Chains A and B, each alone.
Chain A
């Protein structure tokens, strides 16, 4: 049920399958799993702080000229960071709402054909290389952050859509029949039974989308969309290694930090 689990595994190694099913028997092995997870929760920020510390050490031990400094001002970094955050969060939020709504529609009865068409389209968006997608979008819609966000949406809608469809259609039929049988209306079944039960799977998709967007948002700079990628392109343009190093490390740290936040959010949201 985890699509693109490989891209998740890149960043961390917990088993998303077990985590997203939500139905595993509680007793055996779960305390061990919990300890391991808590370890993960604490280990990640420590590691990121360590990496940032190393970066600062490196920058301090390297002689920097005025061009370097201008790119490494905290105010510059901060505004790029916020741009990156904006790109990621807006695109991910829109993707979540869009894909979940679409997924709900596609899993209602009599929609299997629409389902395959939409999934095919979403797969197309996913398969296109992100840089190409960005530039294509800019050609059609003009440059800027807004266009970058559209491109990110097209690029990352598939995992949420597919997980929503999988999560909703993979539910135990007897549970849905029970819900119907005791007199719940379709909307009550959707809100009270289907969505809560599908949340872990949907969240796994959202997490994948956010991770895709965090990485891809670094490419927004190519179409004048801002973000942390700006540091890297600037560094390349003015041929300054420290800027390139700082930009790449910050992009990676930002991605890992976001993944960590999403992981914790998923843990808090999924049924106990």
Chain B
């Protein structure tokens, strides 16, 4: 059971495997201001495919916001080409271009003189939507970002908390259902706990809406948590590394990237790797309703494998309970107390759960609740071994080999 993460495969984690159309393409894009000597963005080439979540990250002032704003032409590039859906962004009137791209700005930027509903409806109104289409859409969006429409619809931005305002900012960007979303530190202005829950909600939202997202953040951990691919800007406006979070975390390209990642790398890595990305251990199972001899046979063959219990599944393969055999051949039922979901659970969550679990291992199920295998601490350690070896010493990120 090893975590098979060659770079190519690693970059596919969280995305389907078929090659996808590139939606946003930056070709040799540079930006420099007349008065400043060095370019802010230096010959950046990047291709972002449909439904991909890309995070731009790096130290303050490295050109993340500038790069983002060049995509919707709030800033004109000095040279190079930006292509969206096969069309040069310069070919379109800039307001048309922007109406088709959701934009969440660094400081929320809600319109203080408009109600929340009017704020959310800003883009649809520009597009000339009729009222009977707009009203249900506003309510839908507010619920989508976790704000009860009947309470918040008619409020003004100043009557919201920072976190609520951020949510409205996201709702406004999503209003006309643009396929592309640009987000500039959308969760920066809230406390860490709210930020984490906003991130979780946003990830869940993204599962269903599947937008192509370019997300700017200076918070490495946030980038790693959210993105399919991370672009790390280095000194002198160069890209230091591009890759999937697991790839970057397990093999930082250079000392700069390693220093940006900081000391919490192992924990971040554990957060990034999901149970679906590792191979699980098998465990003897038994169909529900089988009694007597069949049960005894199952228990004894489990014993040969060195296991003192079998897992009973119902007809949909959902785990029900453990059956233990004791020395006298009697058997006893024990509840399954630790069940983890394949797609939703990170290794980090798995470790936390297993520590509190009475059987030293957790049962893993898929989205429908069907049994997939089990995972325990040894299994996690084994799956981390190849990662720890790649590019850095195990001791460096705290893995005991």
**CB within 8 Å of B: which residues of A?**
22-23, 25-26, 172, 174-175, 177-185, 188, 193, 196-197, 271-272
Most buried by A among B103, B108, B123: B103
In whole angstroms, what is the CA distance A178 to B183 when docked? 12
0/1 string, B102-131, CB within 8 A of A gives 1: 010111111111000000001100100000
Q: Let me know if B99 and A175 touch, CB within 8 A.
A: no
- Rounded to whole Å, the gap between the CB of B117 and the closest CB of chain A is 15
Q: Let me know if B95 and A174 touch, CB within 8 A.
A: no
Q: Let me know if B109 and A174 touch, CB within 8 A.
A: yes
Q: A182-B173, A184-B95 are in contact. List 19 more A-B contacts (CB 8 A).
A: A22-B112, A172-B107, A172-B112, A174-B107, A174-B108, A178-B105, A178-B111, A180-B74, A181-B72, A181-B74, A181-B103, A182-B123, A182-B126, A182-B172, A183-B95, A183-B99, A183-B100, A185-B95, A193-B111
In whole angstroms, what is the CA distance A272 to B74 when docked? 32
Question: Does chain A have a CB within 8 A of B276?
Answer: no
Q: Let me know if B96 and A183 touch, CB within 8 A.
A: yes
Q: Out of A26, A178, A188, which one reaches B110, CB within 8 Å?
A: A178
Task: Note all chain B residues with C-beta closer than 8 A to A172.
Answer: 107, 109, 112
Query: Beyond A23-B112, A174-B109, A175-B112, is A183–B74 a contact (Cβ under 8 Å)?
Result: no
Question: Does chain A have a CB within 8 A of B88?
Answer: no
- Rounded to whole Å, the gap between the CB of B342 and the closest CB of chain A is 38
Question: Does chain A have a CB within 8 A of B351?
Answer: no
In whole angstroms, what is the CA distance A177 to B65 when docked? 13
Question: Does chain A have a CB within 8 A of B97?
Answer: yes
Task: Note all chain B residues with C-beta closer than 8 A to A183.
Answer: 95-100, 123, 126
18 A-B residue pairs with CB within 8 Å: A26-B156, A172-B109, A174-B105, A174-B109, A177-B74, A177-B105, A178-B108, A178-B109, A181-B72, A181-B103, A181-B109, A183-B97, A183-B98, A183-B100, A185-B95, A196-B113, A197-B111, A271-B113
In whole angstroms, what is the CA distance A23 to B97 when docked? 32
Task: Note all chain A residues with C-beta closer than 8 A to B158.
Answer: 23, 25-26
Q: Out of A23, A175, A188, which one reaches B109, CB within 8 Å?
A: A175
Question: Does chain A have a CB within 8 A of B159?
Answer: yes
Nearest residue, chain B, Cβ from A24: B158
- Rounded to whole Å, the gap between the CB of A251 and the closest CB of chain B is 37
